[in-house]
């Protein structure tokens, strides 16, 4: 019998460039849970304790905030994104 382990995307987010590409891809999805999940994966790859400390959030609060279905406040998104070493920006879409 073959033993398998669950796939963990955080194990493959090795560089800041990989993390940024992943977050940008997730941000392009219209389902907000995709971006929240991606933030959680990147935070896990970076280290939840470190992200919690840098963001000023408790570790348990961070886990709760980044779980699927949570209703993240913009302030929390900003804190987490900044703790990860990124910033949010906007660009004009072709639709407008």
What pLDDT does 67 receive?
87
> What are the pLDDT tens digits along the chain (96 aa)?
788 888 999 999 999 999 999 999 999 999 999 999 999 999 999 999 999 999 999 999 999 999 878 999 999 999 999 999 999 988 888 876
Q: What is the CATH number of domain 10-83?
A: 1.10.260
3-class secondary structure, 26: helix
Percentage helix, strand, coil, to 5, in the chain?
60, 0, 40
Q: Which two tokens stand for residue 46?
A: 């970076």
Tell me what pLDDT residue 30 has: 93
pLDDT of residue 96: 61
Residue 49: closest CA among 64, 38, 60, 41: 60
Identify whether the C-beta of residue 13 lies closer than 8 Å to the C-beta of residue 45: yes
The pLDDT value recorded for residue 91 is 83
Residue that is written with structure tokens 């900044």 in the block? 82
Task: Provide the residue ranges of all domains of the chain, joining segments of one domain with +.
Answer: 10-83
* Spatial separation of the C-alpha atoms in residues 61 and 47, rounded to whole Å: 14
């Amino acid at each position: 019998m073959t033993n398998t382990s669950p796939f963990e995307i955080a194990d493959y987010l090795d560089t800041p460039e990989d993390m940024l590409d992943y977050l940008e891809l997730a941000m392009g999805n219209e389902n907000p849970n995709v971006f929240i999940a991606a933030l959680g994966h990147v935070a896990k790859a970076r280290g939840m304790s470190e992200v919690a400390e840098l963001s000023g959030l408790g570790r348990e609060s961070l886990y709760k905030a980044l779980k699927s279905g949570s209703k993240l406040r913009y302030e929390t998104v900003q804190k987490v994104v900044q703790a990860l070493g990124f910033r949010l920006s906007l660009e004009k879409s072709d639709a407008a």
